[in-house]
Structure 1
Amino acid sequence: MEERGSYGQFCPVAMAAELICSRWTVLVLREMLAGSTRFNELRRGVPRMSPALLSKRLKELEAAGIVAALPGPRGVTEYRLTPAGQDLKPIIFGIGFWGQRWVESQLSLKNLDPSLLMWDMRRNLDPRPLPPRRVTIHFEYPELPANRRHWWLVVEGSGVDLCQQDPGFEVDLNVVGPLRSLTAVWMGVRSLRQELEGGRVELLGDREVARSMEQWLGLSPFAREPRKVA
């Protein structure tokens, strides 16, 4: 009798798909390849995935030899990709590059999520163009409910913290605009300059920080992939 969930084929494509093509698994692997190692970090990268399902997927990946659960500092478990997991990098990123090339951008822009956007910006932000001091950048999405409207990135040295509550520091730059516009910039669908010139995004505050935003802003790793028409 066929095992539940099995394709029942000896083909390596079928066997690999049984391991990595269950719902959310590819996104969990994407997060780990991007550097997330702790459960709460993974949750922030897949905010719509339930904690119970994330725990289940991690156990499945561990049983398959793709992920290793290791003791981290202060007794917090860290999830690390094994050599088999690291070997998936060109496959996972290849899916992303294919999606950037061929999936119609307006479809992607229907799936807006400020928590995921800000987490990705925080992860990809480049502190080097910023002044050598603590820099606080406030993002405001005016069309969102009050509990999702305000976000802060606090950059100090090479560290970047994401806050959804006011951290209490003096704000160097306010970035105000609709979530759709900032998501389009992050995805590489539109440039920051286009959104500024079109009046959809406004920068208020330190001119040096505002001027260098195109350099420090963390874009999607797929943003520079040329788009094609299917």
Structure 2
Amino acid sequence: MTTYGQFCPVAKAMELLDERWTILVVRELLLGSRHFNELRRGVPKMSPALLTKRLRTLERAGVIRRSDVGGRSVYTLTEKGEELEEIVTALSAWGIRWIGELGDADLDPHLLMWDIHRSMPIERWPRRRAVVEFGFSDVVGKARSWWLVVSDGVPQVCDFDPGYGVDATVATDLRTLTEVWRGDIDWQNALAEQLITITAPTEVRREIPSWIGQSSTAAVPRPA
């Protein structure tokens, strides 16, 4: 752990929070991840060993608690940890407003699809089981194709064909869908400029943008 040797409260807080990945682990817990594998999906480039280490550090600091439920470890934020929500929300808004440029290394289909599946407006999906397939033209290998499945109000994201009938197919590139999700561009312009192509019956094709939506930070005002 970094030690600044200052009595300043900001310095003391950062001694815990500025280690790499720590605040992102907190973000995942705030977004509802409870199990180790769920946390891993929210920080896919973080090694399992480092995630374990960060969880232990946060537990010792009283930010999270670990309990055993049915033989599985469950991680939840304590009152101390929940107070970080305002900080994470403010960082998110500041980052989307002022740090807008995305490099190729920032694009990750695993994280994008995981984030979409847990944040999209489920209430707008049909009451029956519905499936949307995504194809990324610029991604090579298995991560090129993804499926979102909503059944009985429960969303799932799959990197393999779940074997159900597909209601719509969304064809695009990874950067475009990432920028739409972040709110850098909107669905209307992406479709008008044919950056995204939706193949589906007309009534379903019109609904796909509202099924998927955009992230919570998409509404944050940006500099002119």
The one of 23, 27, 47 equivalent to 1:26 is 23
- SS of 1:35's partner is coil
Q: Distance in 1 between matches of 2:170 and 2:102?
A: 25
Q: Report deviation, 1:208.
A: 2.8
- SS of 1:199's partner is coil
The aligned runs of 1:6-25 (5 Å cut-off) are 6-25=3-22
The one of 102, 111, 119 equivalent to 1:116 is 111
Is the contact made by 1:120 and 1:218 (CA closer than 8 Å) also made in structure 2?
no
The one of 56, 62, 66 equivalent to 1:65 is 62
The aligned runs of 1:6-155 (5 Å cut-off) are 6-72=3-69, 74-103=70-99, 105-107=100-102, 111-155=106-150
Provide the aligned C-alpha RMSD in A.
1.4
Unaligned runs of 5+ in 1: none
The aligned runs of 1:129-208 (5 Å cut-off) are 129-208=124-203
Q: Quick check: 199-208 or 15-24, which moved more?
A: 199-208
Instruction: From the superposition, tell whether residues 119 and 127 of structure 1 become closer, same or farther in structure 2 (CA, over 3 Å).
Output: same
TM-score, structure 1 normalization? 0.93
Q: Which amino acid aligns with 1:143?
A: D
Alignment length, in residue pairs?
224
The one of 200, 207, 211 equivalent to 2:206 is 211
TM-score, structure 2 normalization? 0.96
Unaligned runs of 5+ in 2: none
Q: Distance in 2 between matches of 1:111 and 1:211?
A: 30
